Amino acid sequence: MRAALLLCALLACGCQSSFGLEGDAVSEPGVDVVFDWVADPVIDPAADPAVDPSVDAPPDATVECTPRSGDMVIDFLLDGDGYGRFNLTLVCTAVEFEAEPDRGMHELWLSCRSDEGLLEEHHLFFYTYPHITIDGEIFMEDELIVRWVADPISWTNRWLTIHSVEVGLLLAAVDAEFLVPREPDTWFEPLVVGLVSGVCPVEWGFCGTWERQALEVSFWDAHDSVTVFDGNMKPLEDPDNSYDVMVPVAHAYHTVACEDVALTWVQALIYRLP
């Protein structure tokens, strides 16, 4: 099983969807879940450079294009499946956490309540290279809101967030052509995450000309921020809440010479530090 999961991880960079999602959000009756879900994503490509590489965000003169630090990849699976169609919001408690940081593997078992009030058991698996250490204690102290969306077509867009009811975002993972599957107001709360373009030169990529991009991550009050170009990892430090930001992939095509290729792609992992 672990070998199969590891194979999925190594293939993650090449698995890239662009149509509406099916399924209903799941939450516990009587629990006020603050995230506002809709049936289908509504995205205006002309309004956001994060989803349309032909629209460039104004480059920040203080930001320099950082070279890639080396090979980097992430993968994440729900109940052993990273590529089936899902659209879930679950209210959960953590049952067990197991880490093998020297192999880049972390596993989280969850007990969740369905909208009928029934208990459901779920398992999350994470793989990273370079190998990192996620402190499992951050998941054990509070009720969790787990959101998982996967949208398969020629490629698969995948998004995962785990929020604590008390402190906000504990972990976010994305492997998709868009940063978020929904309106972005609360997806990364209390963080604000955006794509930075127009800094790195346009060069030849896998299927045409592209530019490397970066994630800009800040707190809502914007008193601290960090810019992380693809192939890099940096901390976002704050006296109360600090995060590591890992960005294996972030690029936008300017010209495309292949079929069934997403114009933009971002693969990233953001997790709270203890």
- Assign 143 a pLDDT band (cuts: 50, 70, 90): very high
Contact 241, 219 (CB under 8 A): yes
Half-sphere exposure of 60 (CA within 13 A, CB side): 13
Distances in whole angstroms, Cα of residue 54 to Cα of each of 164, 257, 265: 37, 16, 14
Q: What pLDDT sits at residue 10?
A: 40
What's the mean pLDDT when you consider all of the chain? 78
Q: Cα separation of 44 and 57, whole Å?
A: 15
* pLDDT at residue 7 tops 50: no
DSSP conformational letter for 41: -
Please state the domain count of the chain.
1
Is 188 strand, coil or helix? coil
Q: What pLDDT sits at residue 184?
A: 57
Q: What is the mean pLDDT of residues 191-216?
A: 92
The residue segments making up the domain with residue 114 are: 2-272
* pLDDT at residue 237 tops 80: yes
Q: Going by C-beta distance under 8 Å and a sequence separation of 6 or more, which residues neighbour residue 239?
A: none
* pLDDT at residue 49 tops 60: no
Q: What is the mean pLDDT of residues 128-157?
A: 90
Q: What pLDDT sits at residue 88?
A: 86
Structure-block tokens of residue 117: 């009030």
